[in-house]
Amino acid sequence: MYKIVMNWQERIVVDPKTLAGKPVVKGTRIAVEFVLDLLANGWHEPEILQNYPRLTHEDIQACLRYATALIKSERVYPIKVLQEGI
């Protein structure tokens, strides 16, 4: 059985008129960072869906995929740290 991987761009939107341009779940004012924070604080998906009935499983997955894409696109540039006294 193959699982269809959904594209997060279909569910996550950025609009300067909504939450000052923070990424939100399409059709809601629920920020991606809010959903991620719930998960980071130990909330389980059924609990989130019960408390925020406008969200779906696919929305939560889109939030996670958005965060993954953001981190993957991050560029890290190491800097040389000077030792004390040099």
- Domain presence at residue 78: no
Distance between CA atoms of residues 31 and 45, nearest Å = 16
DSSP assignments along 37-49, one per residue: HHHHTT--HHHHH
Averaged pLDDT, 48-66: 96
Tally of domains within the chain: 1
Distance between CA atoms of residues 20 and 32, nearest Å = 13
- Domain presence at residue 81: no
Q: Which of 29, 5, 1, 7 is nearest to 17 (CA)?
A: 29
CATH code: domain of residue 39: 1.10.10.10
- Domain presence at residue 52: yes
pTM over 0.95: no
pLDDT at residue number 78 = 81
- Domain presence at residue 82: no
Chain mean pLDDT for the chain? 90
End-to-end CA distance of the chain: 61
How is residue 78 written in tokens?
């190491």
